[in-house]
Amino acid sequence: MAAPNKKHDRPTTGHSWDGIEEFDNPMPRWWLWTFYATIIWAVVYWILFPAWPLINGATAGVLGYSSRQDVEAEMVAVDEANAGWYQRLLDTDLNAIAEDPELQRFAVNAGAAIFRAQCSQCHGAGADGLRPGSGFPNLLDDEWMWGGTTEDIVQTVTYGIRNEDFPDARYSQMPSFGADGILSDEEITQVVNHVLNISGQAHDAALAEAGAEVFDLNCSSCHGVDGEGDQMQGAPALNNAIWLYGGSEADITASVQVAHFGVMPGFADRLSDAQIRAVASYVHQLGGGQ
């Protein structure tokens, strides 16, 4: 007589597929004890550490641990370690920082970190102004609307441009020649062709010749007779290939019709004087500092 099939003596889950049944075997004891241990550990963790979210925070835990406090302590330690260097930055003339290799190295490294945290959102991680025509200046070239010396950069970073937070913010405003009815559409077309001409771009010669007079009467007082710009007024040069809001005929026409009003925040209330000197030193050495 053949031995009985023992598999039918064991309970099953009731599932069957193509004649294959699933046994209802108990979980291994080691697995169950591990599972129970994780539950116990979770309960202990809830008691000891911050765990349960509340409306305005979370349960503190009996140990009083706070990752935020750890970060704050680390920041204090870093600030204390750098305090001497920052004091040297304050005590050293701006133009002499680059003459001290160690201090310059610290200023550039510290300034790079500050730039990435505070400035890269607008000027780009590489300080290239994100993209041409974006309205965010490229800090790698030698074209500066408000001056590119270290002192100039410190002034700009400290108070910003055209913002209402600081009375000492740099300020200038180009008229909206089209929207305000200062120039006719024909005159705008003429002056745009003149700008295309002095910037070395394709243009209509007859319109550019007429636009030279329009430019002289309406634009040269800020942008210069030859379109060289004026850093005292923050008026950009128009006789090169560097454009803040784009240099195509359509872009220039739009700028003349309705002037742009870019605003840069001041950082006097966000950064210390030493940090501003550090970021100015970093920007100045990128390649375009004057």
260 is in an annotated binding site: no
Confidence of residue 83 (pLDDT cuts 50, 70, 90): very high
Task: Extract the runs of DSSP E, i.e. beta strands, from the chain.
Answer: 12-17, 20-23
pLDDT the model gives residue 6: 54
Res. 86: pLDDT tops 80: yes
Mean pLDDT computed over every residue of the chain:
92
Buried b / exposed e across 218-249, counting CB within 10 Å, b at 16+? bbeebbbeebebbbebbbbbbbbebbbbebeb
Output the pLDDT for position 2. Answer: 44
Residue 3 pLDDT: 47
Q: Is 264 marked as binding a ligand?
A: yes
Confidence of residue 132 (pLDDT cuts 50, 70, 90): confident
pLDDT at position 289: 65
Distance CA 290, CA 282 (A): 13
Q: Is 1 flagged in the annotation as binding?
A: no
Average pLDDT rounded to a whole number, residues 252-278 = 96
What SS3 state is found at 237? coil
Average pLDDT over residues 28-51: 95
Say whether 185-258 and 78-170+264-287 share the same fold: yes
Percent of all residues in the chain with a pLDDT value above 90, rounded to a whole number: 79
Q: Thinking of the domain 78-170+264-287, which architecture would CATH place it in?
A: Orthogonal Bundle (1.10)
| Residue 1 pLDDT exceeds 50 | no
- Residue ranges per structural domain of the chain: 78-170+264-287, 185-258
Whole-structure pTM value: 0.77
Residue 122 annotated as part of some ligand binding site: yes
Q: How large is the average pLDDT for residues 85-98?
A: 95
CATH 1.10.760.10 for the 185-258 domain, yes or no = yes
| Cβ atoms of 263 and 172 closer than 8 Å | no
Say if residue 119 carries a ligand binding annotation.
yes
Cβ atoms of 135 and 126 within 8 Å: the answer is no
pLDDT tens-place string over residues 94-121: 999 999 999 999 999 999 999 999 999 9
Between 73 and 21, name the one with better pLDDT: 73
